[in-house]
Amino acid sequence: MNTNTKSGSLLTRARALALAAGRGFVLALVTLPGAVLCFTSTLVSISLIPIGVGLLTTPWVLGRLRAFADWRRVVAAEWGGVRIPSAYRPIPEDAKPWTKTYEMLRDPAVWRDLRWLQVDMSAGYVTALLPAVLLFYPLEGFAVAAGLWRPLSQWGGYWYGFVHVTDQASALGAGVLAAALLALAFPLAPWLLNAHFRLTRAVLGASQGELAERVRVLTETRRDAVDTSAAELRRIERDLHDGAQARLVAMGMDLGTIEMLMDKDPAKAKELISQARKSSVDALAELRDLVRGIHPPVLAERGLGDAVRALALRLPITTEVNVELSGRADAPVESAAYFAVSEVLTNAVKHSGADRIWVDLHHEDERLRVTVTDNGKGGAVPGAGSGLAGVERRLGTFDGVLAVSSPAGGPTMVTMEIPCALS
């Protein structure tokens, strides 16, 4: 039983050693060329910004850098159990190249990535390669001891570590050294691979300042969401009090009067019955409008695409809606996207002077992206007090972003993105 336990433990340690060596070797093969390529291409692209070329190339290059860094985060989590937080600022895909360049270069995460590349090309490469060396180098020593020293002795012997191999006795000394190195490799190789991932986290992980900024932004968006919800509840209360409730009270009074007039003045009672019926129809219509303003039934039943199509049909401007969604997002995300689109369309109808609107909804890269374009006069600014500011706050609750392109003379393009998965 003890023998079986020891054999199982040795097999487990051998598997861990082989796994660490293999993974370290793969990382070493990727680390140096990948880091060098990303680092040089980024420096070249940024240096070309003053002549204009870099404005076009930098977003693409930095996008590849982000992808490389995110892949290393995934590898660190899956191979080493080391989780590295990512804190990139979201950039709308439909923004202009120069806007993307400016926003990306303002992101501290970009400069942290560049610092990490320099470490990854040096200390990171060494810590990734050492686990493989600790396994393969002892195997070379065993091969020397087994007879490989003979052809090597033709060139004046062979140095294996500090052992000068010239005959079988010295070759056996190399084998002993190889056995000692292999014994050290069992604990050291997995530790070194883990050290590589910890080094990556130390340089690539978001700093406390960035995480604090992230918390501050989330706190603000949560506060905005709470304020918006409170304002929405007050609006519902006001609409119920001034609308449907008032009509229902009046209808109750009419029914009381009808009850008294049934025998005395049937004609007047009949007239009041007709008036009460009309009041009930109006109250029902107001309640339906109120429900639609809280959560449209078509949104719950048919999803975001059909809800936006229904919204477009009620507009006085010709509106084309293109939907490419393979599933449905969570209900809160769909609701936020729907009311954001509704607000943008309302602004376009009221202020743009457009005679045509295009709405595009699609999902890619784990993001719901909605673009609303009109051929109006332009000049839309998402400043304080505008409807677009409210849209921005609504999207911010879900980590979403808003981008507006609206030059004087038009057209206006409003792009909204919300990170989410589809069912």
Strand 412-419, strand 163-165: pairing: unpaired
Burial (Cβ within 10 Å: 0-12, 13-18, ≥19) of residue 355: exposed
- Answering whether pTM is above 0.85, one says no
Structure tokens, 228:
């918006």
* pLDDT for 217: 59
Q: Has residue 24 got a pLDDT over 60?
A: yes
Reduced to 3 states (helix: H, G, I; strand: E, B; else coil), residue 325 is: coil
Contact 296, 334 (CB under 8 A): no
Q: What is the pLDDT of residues 51-85, one digit of tens each?
A: 888 888 888 888 888 888 888 888 888 888 888 87
Helix (H) or strand (E) holding 121: helix 108-121
Q: What is the pLDDT of residues 165-203, one digit of tens each?
A: 777 777 787 778 888 888 888 888 889 888 888 888 888
Helix (H) or strand (E) holding 357: strand 356-364
CATH 3.30.565.10 domain position(s) in the chain? 300-419
Q: Which among 98, 13, 104 has a CA at the least distance from the CA of 53?
A: 98
CATH fourth-level superfamily of 300-419 = Histidine kinase-like ATPase, C-terminal domain (3.30.565.10)
CATH 1.20.5 domain position(s) in the chain? 224-294
The residue-averaged pLDDT of 97-109 equals 81
- 224-294 folds as 1.20.5
Q: Has residue 19 got a pLDDT over 70?
A: yes
